[in-house]
Structure 1
């Protein structure tokens, strides 16, 4: 499968088609319900396979169009499509988005009272639902299984399928029970979908869900509209503020932090500096979390500062940036989280501030984690891959795609290492000096210290701790004055990233590893990255394009004339008022990409408006005249 290129992932659903031939019925649903003339690459093949009754496992990036792959078959096949999703807090918004398209959708979960659940169950049994959303926990209940036995099921869709895999980053034990779907309902096709999966996760999903005989569809994981940037961490909150003011003023975005306290502090910092920001983490009251999530989805230009507890299943298409103030624990988590930017295909930024403290902290967390040795090894493998991505001097995108099994990609021209290639230098001698300091402390004094103290020794600083332990008498004292403190911290960071040093104990002391001796003996060279003094500006914002032209096309889609920009803002104001009146997120009315196309083409009639991507039959009837009136303004 190649990269998918048309409809936003959150556009989905619609009433059953009267067409007889499955392929024709699927195309009719796409055009009539979603307002799109053609499928993205790969979607048609998946949809026709599932419509024909086949099982499927779909690996497709966030924003790639996964939803359509089960929603259209659910509309074409007789019965109700049952969607298993872990996202109870988002089910109402998912259903609202489908209903706006004319789809008969509903959900069953713990937020409903008995009367509400009874109403939904009656609709299902009467065959009056196209899609029914369930959490895996509810599907396990005998009463739910009995209900499904009495109705007509068109398919089972297992969304966020990586939750079944312990190699994945959102493991949910209840997903393990989903292997029973095939046994209880053998005639009902199953489609499992995930936005991220390495070969190891792919294999585990296959085995745990019993999908060895299913057709497997693996999409191109490239998101060319996203500019990936990883910068050295100095003053991360200030660096973030500079990014938002310079490149994303007034934009919606997500900022990820590792701890709850960091979330609160960062949100307060942004608010105090004039940025509309909200915190989100498990330590907040459930009602507060729900309110903040609702505001983020429904209001324009809000920044959500969150732990990774936030974001899975968020369909907000106009998130213009995702920033990480702490190092993610895995490439899978990083890719999933950054993929929440730019779901509408317009230019977006994935920005990460990364420093020595991140490496020390995460190494320490792994060593002190409660899992068994195999679990800690898995965590170490994930972290090593993330560190390699941070320290690479090659194209970030090439590294990301290779991690997910897509080898041989060309440099993208739209990441920081392509836009501002970092210099490299032979850091072997510096690494030897650092390792020698660790060795001499261990052998001569039987002592272990953290990175800061080691840097003080190498720089010849007679600090209180240095003099207390008489470390100024070591032969390595002051041997590293050719580098400054920031450069030495970079050396420590890169040596740790390569596994030439390890972190030990709760105080984060540094110790030698099995590979340290090769460097000390001079049989292993250590090439290091010298970060550019100034971070690269996004090609998507500056107007420079990628090597293959993909980023240029993404930019072109966002460019509007002054007249069209005025129309776009007028349409956005109408959409905001309409969404507020209906109590739904603005994107449920229309996506930004659709409003931009309307503003650019300025349709004069309903027939003209019907040709715009994203304007389906139901939305044309419901909003068409209002859009024309707004344009006439």
Structure 2
């Protein structure tokens, strides 16, 4: 092993003057050939903790990574800094693979990246055993833990193999997302002691967290992107369909956006990713398949168009913003139906009932986070096991200026109702009883209509009641039990509220006025506009007759009034008209644009 100072290599190879928190501690454990575990936030500099020792060891550093699609980028980045590295996976043809294997035997490379599955190929594993391996780095180590957010059972197969690699090599597990339970599981799997576990903390002071409720998501995104057109960002959606629809819409209205999901060809994924990386597209819309291993430092915002299925995934994804240490934003657009989608994913997934129960629990933890009114950063850090006593001061909850009001009486009504329902019903049924609903689901249980709490909060809407129940759950007065069909239970804190031993404060509900594209004054037409409006109605009627549709199914009067007043001349302008969606634009744009253009010429 070279005796050169790690600080010297840090400056010469990586260009940094000083180590970040925890880096040197991990490096020293690795250089001493220990089994170590590094838990650092995304952007915290985990890669240096194995890349730098690789330059000091005489032997080879083996990096096990689940990210085949990103190995080339990582290796290219290392080679540009003068660190000889290569990868072996299914994208490398036979002749090239043979050459790289020969070069590895002859000491040409200091680092080798492989996927876990590759080690299970007997001939390849024999080759690995023949190399002088001094360090094995297991990246994204949380996939090994059954309690992690991305558990992959097949990855456990590599652990016995690692023990069969000869020599006294160091072993380093790395992750950005590990609760206390996951951390303990990884320590057991990788045989790491507490002394050799480095946890630097999960705080990202430059990242402002925001949660937005009750908004038109598409409208919010468009307004945000236009206000931040000179910045780069990532938008995460839950499904491929959402990615495709939002990307198509953004490009139609003149906002250049790339897209990324597993349904695209490898060529298109690579092309779209490169457009984003090289700032050809300032924004990329993606499923959570995108971003792992991407080290783009100037991402200024991450928007979650859909709520992720767990806090770990959320934390990992927001960590892709502000990796350069400059201010960045992480915005979560919350909608209750997002949670139902995540539950559907779990229902359709493979795995044991215990694993599914764990996934359902994580969805509820994510929902509680999205509905809390405490400091978001404090909530997040406490989830990961950190003791935090101070609010961050810059998340959306800390900056919320709404008045706090006493909601103890309302809370007692909800809690009492849960008790009266014998704590064996879910959120929707609890809300319906409080509302005094009389639908089939209530009639199925005759005793519910006889409860003294039936209709106790009938002045509230079901939506308001379910949101209030979510709030009480987020603050720990209620909890869910069960997997696919969870029931509500009153916690010990909730019991104190029922007994009058504790009061509950909640911020005053916002009165939301959804802004329209134009107000009533805007729609007062001149005589000239009225003539155009009449012609547009004639065209609508003709098209409706031709298609056998009621005219309003083509465009409403309000949409035609807006066309008559604004007279859109471009695709972007036309798409901004209220009521003109992508499909209708595709079908009817040319017909109505022709009417408008001919009228203007006249």
Band of TM-score, shorter chain: 0.7 to 0.9
Equivalent runs, 1:307-456 vs 2, <5 Å? 307-362=287-342, 371-420=351-400, 423-431=403-411, 450=428, 454=432
Residue 130 (structure 1) aligns with: 110
1:243 paired with 2:224, answer yes
**Cα offset for 1:78?**
0.4
Residue 266 (structure 1) aligns with: 246
Residue 89 (structure 1) aligns with: 69
Residue 17 (structure 2) aligns with: 37
Residue 6 (structure 1) aligns with: none
Partners of 2:482 and 2:184 lie apart in 1 by: 33
**Cα offset for 1:37?**
1.9
Equivalent residue of 2:255, what SS? coil
RMSD over aligned CA atoms reads 4.0
Structure 2: unaligned runs, 5 residues or longer: 513-602
Partners of 1:433 and 1:134 lie apart in 2 by: 58
- Larger Rg belongs to: 2
Residue 195 (structure 1) aligns with: 176
TM-score (norm 2): 0.73
Residue 149 (structure 2) aligns with: 169
Residue 219 (structure 1) aligns with: 200
Equivalent runs, 1:513-592 vs 2, <5 Å? 513=489, 522-523=498-499, 527=504, 529-530=506-507, 533=510
**Cα offset for 1:73?**
0.3
Partners of 2:479 and 2:252 lie apart in 1 by: 40
CA contact (8 A) 2:132 2:167 kept: no
Partners of 1:213 and 1:461 lie apart in 2 by: 54
Residue 490 (structure 1) aligns with: 467
CA contact (8 A) 1:127 1:151 kept: no
CA contact (8 A) 2:415 2:490 kept: no
Equivalent residue of 2:47, what SS? helix
CA contact (8 A) 1:360 1:503 kept: no
Q: Deviations over 1:44-93 (max 9, x none)?
A: 22212212322211111110011110001000110221111111000111
Partners of 2:428 and 2:137 lie apart in 1 by: 49
CA contact (8 A) 2:133 2:167 kept: no
Partners of 2:239 and 2:54 lie apart in 1 by: 40
Worse-matched range after superposition: 426-435 or 258-267: 426-435
Residue 108 (structure 1) aligns with: 88
Residue 556 (structure 1) aligns with: none
Q: Deviations over 1:373-427 (max 9, x none)?
A: 4223322432333233223332211121122222035222221122225544444
Change (3 A) 1:384 1:109: same
Equivalent residue of 1:418, what SS? coil
Q: Deviations over 1:143-181 (max 9, x none)?
A: 222222333223111111111111111222342133231
CA contact (8 A) 2:187 2:193 kept: yes
**Cα offset for 1:257?**
1.9
**Cα offset for 1:449?**
10
1:280 paired with 2:257, answer no
Change (3 A) 1:434 1:146: same
CA contact (8 A) 2:235 2:284 kept: yes
Residue 233 (structure 1) aligns with: 214
Residue 58 (structure 1) aligns with: 38
Partners of 1:49 and 1:473 lie apart in 2 by: 66
Worse-matched range after superposition: 197-206 or 473-482: 473-482
Structure 1: unaligned runs, 5 residues or longer: 1-18, 536-633
**Cα offset for 1:289?**
2.7
Change (3 A) 1:129 1:365: closer
Partners of 2:249 and 2:451 lie apart in 1 by: 43
Partners of 1:124 and 1:482 lie apart in 2 by: 73
Partners of 2:362 and 2:342 lie apart in 1 by: 11
Change (3 A) 1:416 1:297: same
**Cα offset for 1:219?**
0.9
Residue 591 (structure 1) aligns with: none
Change (3 A) 1:134 1:307: same
Partners of 1:232 and 1:203 lie apart in 2 by: 35
**Cα offset for 1:532?**
6.7
**Cα offset for 1:515?**
6.2
CA contact (8 A) 1:221 1:401 kept: yes
